[in-house]
Amino acid sequence: MYFAAMTDISSDDLKAAGAKVFADDRAHVFHSWSAQGAISPLPVAGAEGSWFWDYEGNRFLDFSSQLVNTNIGHQHPKVVAAIQEQAGRLCTIAPSFANDVRGEAARLIAELAPGDLNYVFFTNGGAEANENAVRMARLHTGRSKVLSAYRSYHGSTSTAIALTGDPRRWANDAVGQSTGGAVHFFGPHLYRSHFHSTTEAEECERALLHLEQVIQFEGPATIAAIVLETIVGTAGILIPPPGYLAGVRALCDKYGIVYIADEVMAGFARAGKWFAVDHWDVTPDLITFAKGSNSGYIPVGGVVISQAIRDTFDQRVYPGGLTYSGHPLACASIVATINAMREEGIVEHAAWLGEEVFGPALRELAARHPSVGEVRGVGAFWALDLVRSQETREMLVPYNAAGADAAPMNELGAALKARGVWPFINFNRLHVVPPCTISEADARKGLEALDEALEVTD
Ligand code: PLP
C-alpha cells in the first residue's frame, strides 16, 4: 500500500508502512555514492511545493531540492496534470518518429537558448547529455582531448566522470576507468585562488592565461572541447568573475575548440535566468541541461546544439542514440514546466530571492558566525564555505572527509534536520538550494533554522 498524504490513516498504520518501506530498501536497493551498510535512508511518504514528509509525521523544508533538481517545487499541479494527460494519450514512441510534445519541447528550449542553438538532442539525464555533447564535439572537430575544470561535477558515466574535477569522485580510478582524453585546469575561485590573486579582475586574467597555457601545452590541434559549468554547482557554487566566460569563448574561437556549457544544475531558473550564460551574454556551441528542465518528474536531459554542429551531421550520421530519447512523458513535462515558469514568473522569483532574501540574509549570517568563511551564490543557488578559521580559510572538514573527519558537517546536517530543514551538504559546504518557487516566509523559516544550527560549527 502506498500513501501520498497523511490523511485518513492512523499514525500507527503510517509508521508500519514506513517500516516496510525502510525494510524493502535495506534488503534490496543499492544506493548511489554510498557505503551500503552505513546508510539509513529516510522513507519519504509524500511531497508538495517546498516540503516533503516522512511516515512518522515529520515535515521537512526542502533546502536541497533533491540534488538541486526540483526547481519548480514538488508535485507542481500543472506538470503533474501534463504527465497524466500525456500518459493517457501516448506513453512512448521511438526517437525515430516525429512527435508533438517532443517537437514542442525542443522548440521551446531552442527559443530560450542564446544565439543559433536551435536543435535539441534529448537524453535521460545530465551525464548522458555531457557524453553526447563531447561525442558531437569530437566528431565536429576531428580532435580527441577535452578540457574541464578542477572543482567541477559533470556526471558519473565514463566520459562525464573522467571530466569531473572533484577528488571525491576519482575513486573510479581504482577500477581502472580510463580518463579518456580528459585534461583538467584551474578555473577562477578567488577565495581559494590557485593564482594567488587578490582581486576578481586579477583572478579572471590569470585563470584565462593559465587556460591558454594548458591549451598550448596540450596542443590546440588535439583539443575538441572545453566543458565548463557556467556556475560550478556541486563543487561549491563558484560564480565566474566578469569577463571569464567571454574569455573562454574567445579562446575557443581562437583555437577552433567547441565550448560546451554544462547547465545541468545552473539552468532553468536556478540561477535566476533561463540559462546561467544569460548573466554574461555568452553563447556556447553546446549547452547541456537536465534537472530543472522538468524538475526530474520524469528523467530527462539534453544537448542544445548550434547550427554549425548540427550541420556537421546534415548528411553524416550522428553515431549515438538512446531508446528513450525525447520520451513523450518527459517532453510533456518539459513543455508544462516552461509554460508554468513563464506564467508564474518563476525565473524572476528566483532572481528576486537571491537579491532580496538569500544574498542579504546569508551575508548577515556570515558576519555573525565564525565558521562561515564565504557566502557565494545567485538566484536560488547558494553555498556557505565553512572554515576552521576565517583567517587561514582552512576548510572545516577536509576533502574526502569520512568518519570522524566529517563529524562537524554531519552534526550541522543533523541540527538542521532536527529543525525541520533538509540540507544539501558537500565536504565543507552547506548549499542553500531550495525550490525556485519557495515563498519568502518559508525561505526565512529555513534561514532562521540555519542561523540556530550554525552554533554547532562555530
Ligand atoms: N552536470 C552537472 C553540472 C551536474 O550537477 C550533474 C548532477 O548533479 C550532472 C552533470 C549529472 O547529471 P545526472 O546525475 O542527471 O546524470
pLDDT tens readout for residues 46-97 = 999 999 999 999 999 999 999 999 999 999 999 999 999 999 999 999 999 9
Query: Would you give the DSSP letter of residue 448?
Result: H
Question: Which grid cell is 419?
Answer: 529543525
Mutate to test the pocket of ligand 1, among 68, 153, 431 (most ligand atoms within 8 A of CB): 153
Q: Cα(14) to centroid of ligand 1, in Å?
A: 34
Mutate to test the pocket of ligand 1, among 67, 122, 123, 291 (most ligand atoms within 8 A of CB): 291
Identify the CA nearest to 364 among candidates 447, 272, 240. 447
- Would you say residue 177 has pLDDT above 70? no
Q: State how far the alpha carbon of 121 is from the alpha carbons of 265, 324, 440, in Å.
A: 18, 11, 36
Query: What was the pLDDT predicted at 5?
Result: 52
Q: Cα(433) to centroid of ligand 1, in Å?
A: 15
Write the CB contacts of 122 (distance below 8 Å, at least 6 apart in sequence): 95, 102, 105, 106, 300, 301, 302, 322, 325, 326, 327, 330, 331
* Ligand 1 atom, smallest distance to 130 CA: 10
**pLDDT category, 222, cuts 50, 70, 90?**
very high
Q: Cα(122) to centroid of ligand 1, in Å?
A: 15
Q: What is the mean pLDDT of residues 205-234?
A: 98
Query: What was the pLDDT predicted at 171?
Result: 60
Query: What was the pLDDT predicted at 173?
Result: 54
- Would you say residue 175 has pLDDT above 60? no
CA distance linking residue 278 with residue 145, whole number of Å: 27
Q: Cα(237) to centroid of ligand 1, in Å?
A: 14
Q: Cα(133) to centroid of ligand 1, in Å?
A: 13
Residue-averaged pLDDT of the chain = 95
* Ligand 1 atom, smallest distance to 125 CA: 15
DSSP H helices, 58-180, are: 65-68, 77-89, 100-112, 126-141, 158-163
* Ligand 1 atom, smallest distance to 124 CA: 15
* Ligand 1 atom, smallest distance to 299 CA: 15
Q: What is the mean pLDDT of residues 144-172?
A: 86
Q: What is the mean pLDDT of residues 165-175?
A: 64
**pLDDT category, 320, cuts 50, 70, 90?**
very high
**pLDDT category, 25, cuts 50, 70, 90?**
very high
* Ligand 1 atom, smallest distance to 234 CA: 5
CA 23 to chain centre: 30
Q: Which pTM value belongs to this model?
A: 0.96
Query: Would you give the DSSP letter of residue 41?
Result: P
Q: Cα(126) to centroid of ligand 1, in Å?
A: 5
- Would you say residue 434 has pLDDT above 80? yes
**CA-based radius of gyration for the chain:** 22
* Ligand 1 atom, smallest distance to 155 CA: 11
* Ligand 1 atom, smallest distance to 265 CA: 5
Q: Cα(391) to centroid of ligand 1, in Å?
A: 33
Residue nearest to atom 12 of ligand 1 (CA): 126
Q: What is the mean pLDDT of residues 248-265?
A: 98
Query: What was the pLDDT predicted at 404?
Result: 78
CA distance linking residue 324 with residue 100, whole number of Å: 15
ipTM above 0.95, yes or no: yes
CA 239 to chain centre: 14
* Ligand 1 atom, smallest distance to 263 CA: 3
Residue nearest to atom 13 of ligand 1 (CA): 126
Q: Please write the tens of the pLDDT for every residue from 358-400.
A: 999 999 999 999 999 999 999 999 999 999 999 999 999 987 7
Query: What was the pLDDT predicted at 1?
Result: 43
Residue nearest to atom 11 of ligand 1 (CA): 155
Query: What was the pLDDT predicted at 398?
Result: 83
Residue nearest to atom 5 of ligand 1 (CA): 265
50, 9 Cβ separation under 8 angstroms: no
Instruction: List, chain by chain if needed, residues with CB within 6 Å of any ligand 1 atom.
Output: 67, 125-127, 130, 153-155, 229, 233-234, 262, 264-265, 290, 301
Q: Cα(127) to centroid of ligand 1, in Å?
A: 6
